[in-house]
Structure 1
Amino acid sequence: MADKQHLYLVDGSAYIFRAYHRLPPLTDPQGTPVGAVYGYTTMLWKLADDLDKADGPTHLAVILDKGSTSFRNEIYDQYKANRPPPPEDLVPQFPLIRDATRAFSLPCIEEDGLEADDLIASYARVATRRGWDVTIVSSDKDLMQLVGRCAEPDDGVPEGGCIDMLDTMKNQRIGPDEVVEKFGVPPELVGDVLALMGDSVDNVPGIFGIGPKTASKLVVEHGGLAAALDAAPEMKKSKLRDRLIEGREMAELSRVLVQLKEDCELPMPLEDFKLTTVPRDPLAAFLEKHGFTSLLRRLDGGNGSLSRPTNLHPAKPVNKGAEASQGGNRQPLPQMPEIDRSTYECVQTIERLERWIERAFAAGLVAIDTETSALDAMRADLAGISLALGPNDACYIPLAHGGSDMFAERPQQVARETALTMLRPLLESDAVLKVGQNVKYDLNVLARHDIAMAPVDDTMIVSFALDAGRSLDGIGGGHGMDELAQRHLGHTTLTFKDICGSGKKAIPFGEVPLDRATEYAAEDADVTWRLYANLKPRLATEGGSRIYQRVDRPLIPVVAQMERHGIKVDRGQLAKLSEEFAAETGRLEAEIHAIAGAAFTIGSPKQLGDVLFDKMGYKGGRKGKSGQYSTDQAILERLSAQGAEIADKVLEWRQLTKLKSTYTDALQAAIHPDTGRVHTSYSLVGAQTGRLSSTDPNLQNIPIRTEIGRQIREAFVAEDGNVLLAADYSQIELRLAAHMADVPELKQAFANGEDIHARTAAEMFGEVTRDTRASAKTINFAILYGISRWGLAARLKVEADEAQAMIDTYFQRFPGIQRYIMETLETVRERGYSETLFGRKTWFPRIGSKNQTERQGSERAAINAPIQGTSADIIKRAMARMMPALEAAGLGHVRMLLQVHDELVFELPATDVAAASPVIERVMAEAATPAVSLDVPLGIEIGTGASWGQAH
């Protein structure tokens, strides 16, 4: 053993949390959680081995935090106030970790009212004065204030000792040079830098808007914190000057908080830290009691390895997801510094990745974003992942960067599979809430790498729950990151175009240099964290929690899974339909040209308008600001009602060309090369009322009741041995209208299972015929959309006065409907938004517009939004409950594939239809309960077949 004494002080708290997050939950034979205990024990053993081989310590002690408060809380009551409580299954392991330390016959030091850092500083001070060298086993930045310090010796001691640090995660010694590299200042000035920049984890306030680089620069330029603060009034006028002046008090407070207390009374004398041979019996008893059999074999000199099986058991899962989600943002800041991309870290080593993972576990909340090669989550390659734990506390983990040329130089990065293996416990842990912006995309990308990320929150959907339809401060009402960052943070984000370029010069994200990729990717995670901190608290105060937690949030993983399932399409059937549509559009084109007396481009609104209103002389043409005639569907339908045959032909031509391009052609191109299926993308924020929307390809606009629509549905097929099952809510919006408007006649008709359109025809026309029922059906739906007399007249092809008479009669027969419309409009005009039965708000900022067209459009939408929105909420609740119900019935293999308005489409073995149908029907029928009790039953129609067309 060396003549000079060498004391090692182990920061035990860091070891505990690292151990907890490195291993899965485990229990010992008594059922006690011991995952962290086992990890801590192996780490302590490894440290002892490594130090012994290096001829390291003569004395060693483990220093722990005894409680969550210290004397600093008396100085500043918000100190560490934002730290989340320790995980539920870690709490009972704290005393066992102390037992483990003592089983090694090592001192375990802790003291009420003091932090481990203060005890470490005090022991280091006394030891170095005795001439001992001291190594602090930690990577804590606060302790770096002590690095490189060499003490003046006590009387009788020839020379004082010096202090360094050992980061066992990196296996790196930390001396003064490493501190300067990290902070830009020597160790004795680290406290000044920390006081200026603050610490979001410990809630040390610092000065708002000053990050680590600015703090370091100020300390270097002025020689210290006090000098920088004193110089502020003489600085050139700037935001920095104002912040230094205004924040002086907070900086001085922060300097006191980060100052280590070095004169603590020592709980145990240094001599008791002397390392001796570890007595076997206490350690063996501890290892045996807790089932650490591989370590016990190692103690006895056997060949047992730490990787060999132990007598531990996988712990029963602890449900922390709900707690995490209810906890919201666990590290809020009253104010946030401006975004500083220079603070972001590019994580290129396993050691740094381990550190970020450890910190994310400790935080309990992490914002996440994936960077990929494409927008299609089912085809995109994963290029990297970014994480954020607080403002400007973000990183990018590149996984697949480098040129497309196989000989191109690859930058240093953690191998993708290695990184994903390391990240999996974090991403799948119930104890850590993952927050994303459109997190469904990230779920699908990660699922393709066998990572089931949960639990999750989504800033995009939180925004939608709060502000659907709202346009704030002149900024659009969308919920994309760029708009939200501008609206809520006043920040303009980097765009993909900024980083990758556009057009022919665009490069894949994987070829972007890592410094630029880090700025872009880490900013996304940073912005997401900030948005969550901004938006999540509003849910409770503005009444959005109910709709977000009960309807939208549970749907995220459900919709993601539906997208991954996809649906099979018959390529041959689609190709055949494309040919037929092409032939039919060709025929229609010839007929249109013949009627017009000349060939022209039918798809050109300008040429069509000129033909209709200038050449053919039809009345009512209106030119817009561009000088072109409008030829939208309403115009063509009006011309058709006037007997213009060409308008009928153009409408038919438009429908066929749209169906061909949107479906029969596009669906063939959309077939995934690996799965052979079509994977649509659902947006949970695509429609203001809360309905899901479908894109790439859009499967929600296929005509429902036309022969062409049926033919397209025939191309959606089941795999061999399976069938498709379509479950459709029957007239759900009319049923909801009967309940919400309190219409006794309609409620009774639904309760009796009557034909509601026939009942309406009888009430309005006194008889039920094919024509009166058809008219009643049109009126039933049109009224709910706030249709005008002119709109109804166009649909029924009657005069406006006759249409108005029908509306008047309808309101006379069903006065509750008229009352509902009037009260809804009055409420929306007063509050600015409508609300569904489940509390979903839809904002109508133009409800009071002086522009008649804008105002009337808003009024029509406001009338329908509570009904259509409630319908959307109900089917979403059904979707979220569906798979648990099927799994409980032993039908977990049934796949839910599509949601199209009021319809759900499933794929299942033909032999399971009889068992699955009643489960599906029950879940859909009871979806509103217990949150809402309806006065009308929800009718469900179920059909099955080899194709969607047959099942529908």
Structure 2
Amino acid sequence: MQKGDHLFLVDGSAYIFRAYHALPPLTRKSDGLPVGAVSGFCNMLWKLVEESKDTSVGVAPTHFAVIFDHSSTTFRNALFEGYKANRTAPPEDLVPQFALIREAVRAFDLPCIEKQGFEADDLIATYTRLALEAGGDVTIVSSDKDLMQLVGPCVTLYDQMKDKRLGPAEVFEKFGVYPEKMIDLQALVGDTSDNVPGIPGIGPKTAAQLLDTFGDLETLLARAAEIPQAKRRENIIAFADQARLSRTLVTLDVNTPFDVPLDALAIEHTDGERLIAYLKAMEFTTLTRRVSAKLGTEVAGIEAAQIDVDAPARGPDLDPTGTPGGDKSDADLPLTPAAFAAGRMAQMADRPVDRTAYTTIRDQAGLEAFIARAYETGILSFDVETTALDAMHAEIVGLALAVSPGEAAYVPLAHVAEGDGDLLGGGQGADGGVGPQLSEALALDLLRPVLTDGAVLKIGQNFKYDYLVMLRRGIAIAPFDDTMLISYALDASSSLDGHGMDELSERFLGHKPISYKELCGSGRGARAIAACPIDKVTEYAAEDADVTLRLWEVLKPRLVADGLTHVYERLERPLVPVLARMEERGIRVDRQILSRLSGRFAQKAASLEADIHGFAGESFNPGSPKQLGEILFGKLGLPGGKRTRTGQWSTDARTLEDLAAEGHELPRRIVEWRQLTKLKGTYTDALPGHMDAQGRIHTSYSMASTTTGRLSSSEPNLQNIPVRTEEGRAIRTAFIAAPGMTLVSADYSQIELRILAHMAEIPQLSEAFRQGIDIHAMTASEMFNTPVEGMEPSVRRRAKAINFGIIYGISAFGLAAQLSIPREEAALYIRRYFERFPGIRDYMDAMKAQAKAQGYVETLFGRRAHYPDIRHANPSVRAFNERAAINAPIQGTAADIIRRAMIRMEPELAAAGLSARMLLQVHDELVFEVPEDEVERTIPLVREVMERAAEPVIQLSVPLVVDARAAANWEEAH
């Protein structure tokens, strides 16, 4: 950087929260992933990057960086234990977006900078100093008052949301002091958002007056006796040291160590294809078009980027107490268990993690000695290091063990010399340049007794993975505890960065473990863990086992203290082996059916494309929003066209569906074409790639990824195969039974409505369910004064939409769109519904009040769903959380019931001498593979177990009903 250059520094952490709170909740259509903050962030960043090139509003940047907080202890925590201790947990739907936002910055080809142990503000201060020393100017994109101390003749603070630039004069206008006195002012006032104490009774105006009179903080403290106001004088004298501490806490460190040199922040040309690939993956259609138009990069032909949305958002914007960064003093949110975490961190200080104390076990005697220690302590923390994230295809590289805090070891089994192409060869007892190793067979033979012995408790993190890896090798580990699931039972949605070991370690132990990337590298320089030096892998793997054991010591007692032991021990832990066995079994898929469907879908798509061209009167790419917009609104002049900021016509799904509803054929065919090509790409083309040699697909279930306890499925996601379209149902026909077997599908009938009838105590609904009456017809009869006999199907459909819509807090706007009726009519239906069933309104009000009072609501089985944003100042955020809080006890109870059914199912089948195998769980449905000659005996037992799953804990006032059928394929059985 040189004189005349201009550096832009974006406060990324504050940017995230401002983007999140500025927009209503938004999810990705394909899978429901929350992306509202990502969308806001990307739009703000794109606007900043593009507008900053306009020199009429300032000097265009030559250098650019986005700076984030990193979740780790800073020097401020060492100075003051309470620093940021009052911060609140980020909203649940924001947590998965942190990692996606960092990926967004990289997609923009901008430096994404964070530093362990330091806050974003310190990095911004350091880069500002370096830029000024080089003769450049700096624009800091933030509204954080902590950064105002940096403002000067060559440093401007830019509030993008308000399009306002702050120089020294603006800082003085706002606070009554110039930037050079902002540190002293904050030392006096303190900062409630960061829990900086300051001096009681001193506000900004008073502080400015005192500094104007006495010059600076130290002079004020030395001459405090001269202050005429008695109470103010007494406070300043009494809290002088507290003010000095506060001054240190608010002073930014301009000498922060950094990894990215200043010159590396020079702006490079944006890679349009990379950015568009990312935006397509996020399904940001409008921004994709804007970027395409501005950069001249054609969208067609660019595939959506493959982004790991399940990757843990490692430590974003959180301080060591597990609280988010950014100034959110305007939000009235409940507190987190920061005091608990701080206390546990203090305990950990007496026995810090020492990686040098870990041992590498290379022989039988060493492993036998360590196993003996496990019998002495009664505890064995266990973790497998493997070649793949997919447990069904993972080969074991080594084993990590711990028997007490600090007493941990690593057992290498299949390491190779770096550069060896055969990452699983040469390690089975041979040296190969890496030293002696035990064979996998011998190690597992030695460990098998202790892994299955009830006298030793095994402890793991995300233990279903380790359990399945060992199950494939004939070892069913028992008994065990899973720290991930303990954390999930405690803090289902108030968890800060999810329930990963690294995040939990930083939150509860104040310790940052070695990351996989630090061990193995990334990008082109990455190497397999089997090729990493064994001494380094020992530090990494043994630390995982050690930290997991320490987390167990911290978290397990909280289950008792918080009264949640029953949730973990009855709903979470027993499900691990059940799901592992289901994942191991997989489900058979007919490759030929998928192939034929792909061909059929391709032909139908081609036919639709021909129809599209016919209606348009010319050939064009139906996948090109730009070309489609010109055809619909330019050439054909259809009504309702709206142009985006880039001048292109909007052709989003809502626009096309509205036009189709008005009878226009071209948009209707486009909607069909889009749905069909998505089904083809997502399912019929992709599923064969997941099949094993036996033609079976093995999905993976996540137990700790939703607020309500619902399971999610991935790699591949078998829970989102559509069932409401002919093509979607056709895909299910490819899921078949093995020879001599039959598929049985057992599905709860209207379980959430039944739970609502019980929880809200609605006599009409409860009686209808008890008598087996068509609930939607009954509702229609109550709502519209229409006899059930001879009722028109359209009337019943309206009642059905209202019944299910009420559960999810549907608005008049949403109901109007779903039923294609005026909003006023939809509002009338909703009002009439509450009049007919007043208990539902009472239930909703009770849930909102409960969530506001205690921060969470509960299912009938005691599972807690936390909603810290239920009292948020932003009405849209608050409304979203209110709707979620109303639905969570219902949906969560349904999730708990099917979990209980799954846990009971296998023992009941075995006791009856039946060999049916549970294969899939899809929301309220279980799918089994059953011998043909056992179907008649299996279906009644499955139905009974599911219908009585709530008992004896809960006696529902309405019966649970299960529909179960057998067939050769999934679609026919459903």
1-structure distance, mates of 2:832, 2:403? 62
Give the counterpart letter for 1:506 in structure 2.
A
Structure 1 pair 793–394 and aligned structure 2 pair: CA distance change class (3 A): same
Q: Does 1:795 align with 2:818?
A: yes
Which secondary structure does the structure 1 equivalent of 2:474 belong to?
coil
Q: Is the 8 A contact 1:662 1:697 kept in 2?
A: no
Distance 1:781 1:459 in 2: 36
Partner of 1:582: 602
Query: Does 1:672 find its partner at 2:687?
Result: no
Q: Is structure 2 residue 673 aligned with structure 1 residue 653?
A: yes
The match for 1:401 among 399, 404, 415 is 415
Q: Please, which of 779, 787, 802 is the counterpart of residue 760 of structure 1?
A: 779
Tell me how far 1:633 sits from its aligned partner: 4.5
Is the alpha carbon distance of 1:789 and 1:430 closer, same or farther for their aligned partners in structure 2, counting shifts above 3 Å? Answer: same
Instruction: Name the residue aligned to 1:908.
Output: 930
**Which residue identity is paired with 1:375?**
L
Distance 1:852 1:599, change over 3 A: farther
Q: Secondary structure at the match of 2:348?
A: coil
1:420 Cα offset (Å): 0.6
Residue 604 (structure 1) shift: 6.0
Q: Secondary structure of the equivalent of 2:579?
A: helix
Asked if residue 690 in structure 1 is aligned to residue 709 in structure 2, the reply is yes
The within-5 A match list for 1:233-244 is none
Q: Which residue of 1 aligns with 2:456?
A: 432
1:416 aligned to 428, 432, 440, which one? 440
Q: Structure 1, residues 522-544: CA drift from partner, whole Å, max 9, x if none?
A: 12212211222222211122232
Matching of residues 590-605 of structure 1 within 5 Å? 590-592=610-612, 602-603=622-623
Distance 1:669 1:656 in 2: 20
- Secondary structure of 1:846's counterpart equals helix
Alignment-derived partner of residue 911 in structure 2: 888
Q: Secondary structure at the match of 2:481?
A: strand
| Structure 2 equivalent of residue 868 of structure 1 | 891
- Against the structure 1 CA distance between its residues 826 and 598, is the aligned structure 2 distance closer, same or farther, given a 3 Å change threshold? farther
Corresponding position: 1:833 with 2:862: no
Is 2:726 aligned against 1:707? yes
Alpha-carbon separation, structure 1, partners of 2:912 and 2:879:
49
Q: What is the CA–CA distance in structure 1 between the aligned matches of 2:631 and 2:516, rounded to whole Å?
A: 43
* 8 Å CA contact 1:368, 1:385 repeated in 2: yes
Query: Does the 8 Å CA contact 2:453/2:478 hold for their aligned counterparts?
Result: yes
1:539 to 552, 555, 559: 559
Whole-Å separation in 1 of the counterparts to 2:541 and 2:457: 20
Deviation for aligned residue 1:424 = 0.6
Any stretches of 5+ residues in structure 2 without a counterpart?
1-343, 427-431
- Using a 3 Å threshold, how does the CA distance of structure 1 residues 380 and 772 change in structure 2: closer, same or farther? same
Question: Does the CA-based 8 Å contact 2:939-2:965 persist in structure 1?
Answer: no
The answer as to 2:953 corresponding to 1:939 is: no
* Aligned counterparts, 1:546-625, within 5 A: 546-592=566-612, 602-603=622-623, 619=640, 621=642
Q: How far 1:710 sits from its partner (Å)?
A: 1.9
RMSD (CA atoms):
2.5
Cα shift at 1:618: 5.7
Compute the displacement of 1:655 (Å).
2.3
Q: Distance in 2 between matches of 1:599 and 1:480?
A: 51
Q: Which residue pairs with 1:453 in the alignment?
A: 477
**Alignment of 1:341 onto 2:360:** no
Distance 1:798 1:332, change over 3 A: closer
- Give the Cα–Cα distance (whole angstroms) in 1 for the partners of residues 838 and 905 of structure 2: 37
Q: Secondary structure at the match of 2:580?
A: helix
Which residue does the alignment assign to 1:818? Answer: 841
CA contact (8 A) 2:901 2:946 kept: yes
Q: For residue 398 of structure 1, what is the amino acid of its counterpart?
A: P
Shift, 1:515, TM fit? 1.1
In structure 2, the partner of 1:288 is none
1:801 Cα deviation after fit: 0.5
Alignment partner of 1:739 is 2:758: yes
Deviations 1:880-912 (A, max 9, x none): 000101111111x21000111111111111110
Structure 1 or 2, whichever has the larger Rg, is 1
Alignment of 1:15-164 (within 5 A): none
Identify if the C-alpha distance between structure 1 residues 832 and 945 changes in structure 2 by more than 3 Å, giving closer, same or farther. same
> Which runs of 5 or more residues in structure 1 are unaligned?
1-330
Question: Mapping of 1:482-521 within 5 angstroms?
Answer: 482-521=502-541
Distance in 2 between residues matched to 1:467 and 1:647, nearest whole Å: 46
Residues 408-450 of structure 1: CA deviation (Å, up to 9, x unaligned): 5353111111111001111111111111111111111111111
1:607 and 1:747 map into 2 onto residues whose CA distance is 54
Cα 1:548/1:599, change in 2 over 3 Å = farther
2:443 and 2:375 map into 1 onto residues whose CA distance is 16
| Shift, 1:859, TM fit | 2.0
Tell me how far 1:623 sits from its aligned partner: 5.5
Query: Aligned partners of 1:394 and 1:872: how far apart in 2?
Result: 37
Q: Which amino acid aligns with 2:348?
A: Q
Q: TM-score, normalised by structure 1?
A: 0.62
Partner letter of residue 396 of structure 2?
Answer: L
Output the CA distance in 2 between the equivalents of 1:646 and 1:865: 40
Residue 945 of structure 2: SS of its match in structure 1? helix
Q: Secondary structure at the match of 1:366?
A: strand
Task: Please say if residues 345 and 510 of structure 2, whose CA atoms lie closer than 8 Å, have aligned partners that are also in contact.
Answer: no
TM-score computed with the length of structure 2 as normaliser: 0.60
Tell me the amino acid that sits aligned with residue 718 of structure 1: A
For the structure 1 residues 640 and 485, does the alpha-carbon distance in structure 2 shift closer, same or farther, using more than 3 Å as the test? farther
| Aligned counterparts of 1:632 and 1:449: Cα–Cα separation in 2 | 50
Q: How many angstroms does 1:649 deviate by?
A: 3.2
Map 1:248-259; keep pairs closer than 5 Å.
none
Match of 1:480 in 2: 500
Q: 1:922 corresponds to which residue?
A: 944
Letter in 1 for 2:458: K
Distance verdict in 2 for CA 1:763–1:367, change over 3 Å: same
For residue 302 of structure 1, what is the aligned residue in structure 2?
none
Instruction: Note if 1:528 corresponds to 2:552.
Output: no
Partners of 2:901 and 2:648 in 1: CA distance: 47
- Secondary structure at the counterpart of residue 400 of structure 1: coil
Summarize the Cα distance change of 1:483–1:588 in structure 2 as closer, same or farther, 3 Å threshold.
farther
Most deviating of 583-592 and 597-606? 597-606
Q: Secondary structure at the match of 1:774?
A: helix
Over 3 Å counting, the alpha-carbon distance change for 1:594 and 1:505 in structure 2 is farther
Q: Check conservation: 1:401, 1:411, Cα contact below 8 A.
A: no
Structure 2: distance between partners of 1:340 and 1:840: 37
Deviation (angstroms), 1:921: 1.0
Write the distance in 2 (CA, Å) between the matches of 1:491 and 1:598.
63
Helix, strand or coil at the partner of 1:383? strand
The alpha-carbon distance between structure 1 residues 545 and 745, as it changes in their structure 2 partners (threshold 3 A), is same
Match of 1:363 in 2: 377
User: Which residues in structure 2 correspond to 1:355-394 (within 5 Å)?
Assistant: 355-394=369-408
Q: 1:377 & 1:585 partners in 2: Cα distance?
A: 37
Given residue 491 of structure 2, which amino acid in structure 1 is its aligned partner? D
Distance 1:628 1:871, change over 3 A: farther
- 1:522, 1:761 → 2: CA distance? 62
**Structure 1 374/743 Cα, relative in aligned 2: closer, same or farther at 3 Å?**
same
- Paired residue secondary structure (1:384): strand
**How far has the Cα of 1:493 moved from its partner?**
2.7
* Contact 2:345 2:508 (8 Å CA) reproduced: no
Query: RCO higher in 1 or 2 (8 Å CA, sep ≥ 6)?
Result: 2
* Aligned-partner Cα distance in 1 for 2:667–2:856: 38
